[in-house]
């Protein structure tokens, strides 16, 4: 019912089952059986799709090496290779082998999270900063996201944390140079819940208009929940901080996924 008739994209946290509850990510990884995990995610996708969901905020594939981290049970553990194999299984299970499966209403779009280094938060504390060398980032933490991108994952969620003082949600290097140009990711990026607004708390953006400009220019296409894009995006464009070309590209990425899912054929 929007002015241009663009259908809404309904998403939800569907991590390890929807109505049927499957083992959490860490337990699935302990099976060392990606094929079985893929079947679990496929069943989850069909249940979620049948209830009107098009998109799930899963798989959660943060590499976790600190048991103090409260969310370490959601991910696939400490090994980058195993995490990458499980990430591929999750994406294939949720999305199927091609977009025709998505249009058949038995699959949903996946969202690989949290990009990147969220599992390396200092002291295992949520929202805390991470200190990662480029070597560690590339050889350990990027592995599962590289595999998810190769498997055709349609979306990625940017994480709250900073890496060496730079919030991921405002990092053009991490979200564009690495994720898109190096890993070949071709979907859209959504912020974690209110992580655009958090750029003010992290003292890199002075105003919400600055936060909108920084996040979208870095490569965050969709703003989750805090309404910063909706309320301050126009101001950012009018002030010259944010280019219309950048906004157009962000919109194009989201629309492309909506077309691939088949929402324009059947909202």
CB 115 within 8 A of CB 145: yes
The H or E element spanning position 36 is helix 34-50
Terminal CA-to-CA distance of the chain, rounded, Å?
Answer: 11
Tell me, yes or no, if 181 is annotated catalytic.
no
d(CA 253, CA 227): 19
Catalytic choice (13, 98, 192, 265): 192
d(CA 99, CA 260): 6
Could you give the C-alpha distances from 264 to 18, 46, 48, 103, 196, in angstroms and in order?
Answer: 25, 20, 19, 10, 28
Q: Report the catalytic residues.
A: 192
């Amino acid at each position: 019912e929007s002015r241009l008739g663009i259908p809404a994209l309904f998403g939800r946290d569907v991590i390890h089952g929807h109505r049927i509850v499957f083992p959490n990510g860490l337990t699935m990884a302990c099976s060392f059986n990606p094929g079985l995990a893929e079947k679990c995610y496929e069943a989850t996708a069909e249940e979620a799709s049948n209830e009107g969901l098009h998109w799930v905020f899963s798989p959660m594939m943060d590499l976790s090496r600190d048991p103090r981290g409260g969310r370490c049970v959601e991910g696939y553990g400490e090994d980058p290779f195993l995490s990458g194999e499980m990430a591929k299984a999750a994406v294939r299970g949720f999305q199927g082998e091609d977009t025709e499966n998505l249009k058949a209403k038995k699959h949903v779009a996946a969202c690989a999270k949290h990009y990147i280094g969220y599992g390396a938060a200092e002291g295992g504390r949520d929202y805390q900063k991470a200190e990662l060398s480029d070597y560690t980032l590339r050889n350990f933490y990027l592995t599962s996201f590289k595999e998810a991108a190769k498997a055709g994952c349609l979306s990625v969620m940017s994480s709250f944390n900073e890496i060496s003082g730079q919030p991921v949600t405002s990092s053009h290097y991490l979200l564009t140079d690495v994720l898109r140009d190096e890993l070949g990711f071709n979907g859209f990026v959504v912020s974690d819940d209110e992580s655009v607004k958090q750029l003010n708390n992290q003292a890199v953006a002075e105003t919400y208009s600055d936060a909108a400009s920084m996040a979208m220019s870095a490569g965050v296409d969709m703003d989750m929940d805090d309404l910063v894009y909706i309320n301050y995006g126009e101001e950012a464009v009018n002030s010259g901080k944010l280019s219309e070309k950048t906004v157009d590209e962000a919109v194009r990425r989201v629309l492309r996924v909506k077309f691939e899912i088949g929402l324009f054929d059947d909202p």
